[in-house]
Amino acid sequence: MKKVSLVLLFLLTACAELPAGSVALTPAVFDDLPGWNDDGGSAAIPALARSCPLLVKKHVTPSGMPETADWHPACDALKKLPVHDNQAARAFFEHYFTPYAIDGKDGADGLFTGYYEPELQGSFKRSKRYRTPLYARPADLVTVDLGLFRSEWKGQHLAGKVNKTQLVPYDDRAAIAGHSLVKRARVLLWVEDPIDAFFLEIQGSGRINLPDGRIIRLGYDGANGRAYVALGRMLAALEAIERPVTMPKIRAWLAAHPDRAQQVMNLNPSYVFFRKRTGDGPLGAEGVALTPGRSLAVDPAYLPLGVPLWLDTKDGADTPLQRLMIAQDTGGAIKGAVRGDVFWGAGREAERQAGAMQSRGRLYILLPKSGMDDAAN
């Protein structure tokens, strides 16, 4: 079957970033999607409804480029769909969309993991119990959009701080753990467990339970720009934990080695800053509230945010996980075209699901028929 370049995909979906590697899309039919007729597809409708206002606003500006795929018909029809009607949901997608199998530079098979919204114990006041700070975005953190300087750098960013007349790398995790941000950044909250704080950064958002019973929700508000280093991979290479690497194994090792935990966590120089937020959530990188079990974190260098995706993989219990997802978030460890992180929600069950998931699988992207069908001919 005819393959479509992902450069064309980005033009048609009006994503702001160009692909960083080799990707091809192969047109498919819905019967090619494993488990398509068994999924409760209506559960993904609220997630897509949150993304639709952003999808219909996107435009392609360079002259001579194909016109943007028209999301208006699908998004308008979405508003009229009956609630909790899986058959109607499948008919909607089959009428308005065409599926495409995604092939990355490493093939069609990729890694899929899970994440969740953690709950931590914390306080606005530092004490013997609450000693680990969660920082707000520092005033001296500078983020640079490199695409403003050269077109070939579009979609790439740097973060750092100004030293005299130069932009230099921002403090790494080791420096921040050594209190380098004292008097430079505001502490939002103090939490009791540094390991919990570390995993909060990896998840990107969470809930803090205060001593008086209140719950404060935190969301991602930038990072220090340092490259993300996967501790699990390093611990497995040192044979400190067994493969497959899972979050519970990493957490258990850190808890069992309190004298070395911070030193090992410092091997990941990336550090995340937070802000307090209200309303539905948590928010993904697209800026909309995530839907448990239906929002997927992807690499925006390859896949545009907001689009529907068909996921064919297994969950942490080795049970087939074949369902419609919406690309609504990103993550420091999510790199590549066939790579995803399933948002499982909040609470212990979500943590269990997310922590155990380490599966191989495939992705299909669903795009409006109007633009892609015309461009593929």
Q: 317-344 burial, b if ≥16 CB within 10 A, otherwise e? A: eeeebbbbbbbbbbbbbbbbbbbbbbbb
Residue 112's identity, in one-letter code, is F
What confidence score (pLDDT) does residue 16 get? 32
Which H helix or E strand runs over 188?
Answer: strand 187-191
What confidence score (pLDDT) does residue 1 get? 45
Q: Name which of 173, 163, 113, 78 is nearest 339 in CA terms.
A: 113
Per-residue DSSP letters for 118-172?
-EEEEESS--SS--EEEEBPPTT-EEEEGGGT-GGGTT-EEEEEEETTEEEEPP-
What confidence score (pLDDT) does residue 106 get? 85
Q: Between vectors from CA 265 to CA 261 and to CA 271, what angle results, nearest 5°?
A: 145
In angstroms, how far apart are the furthest CA atoms of the chain?
A: 67
Q: Name which of 295, 309, 283, 375 is nearest 342 in CA terms.
A: 295
d(Cα 333, Cα 113) in Å, to the nearest integer? 10
- Each residue's pLDDT, cut to its tens digit, for the chain (377 residues) gives 445 444 444 434 433 333 445 678 899 999 999 999 999 889 999 999 999 999 988 643 222 323 456 899 999 999 999 989 999 999 999 999 999 999 988 899 999 999 999 999 999 999 999 999 999 999 999 999 998 999 888 878 899 999 999 999 999 999 999 999 999 999 999 999 999 999 999 888 899 999 999 999 999 999 999 999 989 999 999 999 998 888 889 999 999 999 999 999 999 999 999 999 887 778 888 989 999 999 999 998 888 899 999 999 999 899 999 999 999 999 878 999 999 999 999 888 998 999 889 999 999 999 998 654 444 44
Task: Delineate the domains of the chain, giving CATH numbers in brackets.
Answer: 4-113+299-343+360-376 (2.40.40.10)
Query: Are the beta carbons of 194 and 266 closer than 8 angstroms?
Result: no
- Give how far Cα 236 sits from Cα of 25, 315, 331, Å: 34, 21, 21
Residue owning tokens 């740097």? 158
Q: 293-313 burial, b if ≥16 CB within 10 A, otherwise e? A: bbbbbbbbbbbbbbbbbbbbb
- How much is the pTM? 0.75
β-pair partners for 308: 326
d(Cα 196, Cα 192) in Å, to the nearest integer? 8
CB-based contacts of 284-290 (< 8 A; 24+ apart in sequence): 284/328, 284/329, 284/330, 284/343, 285/220, 285/328, 285/329, 285/330, 286/51, 286/54, 286/327, 286/328, 286/329, 287/54, 288/50, 288/51, 288/54, 288/328, 289/50, 290/47, 290/328, 290/329, 290/343
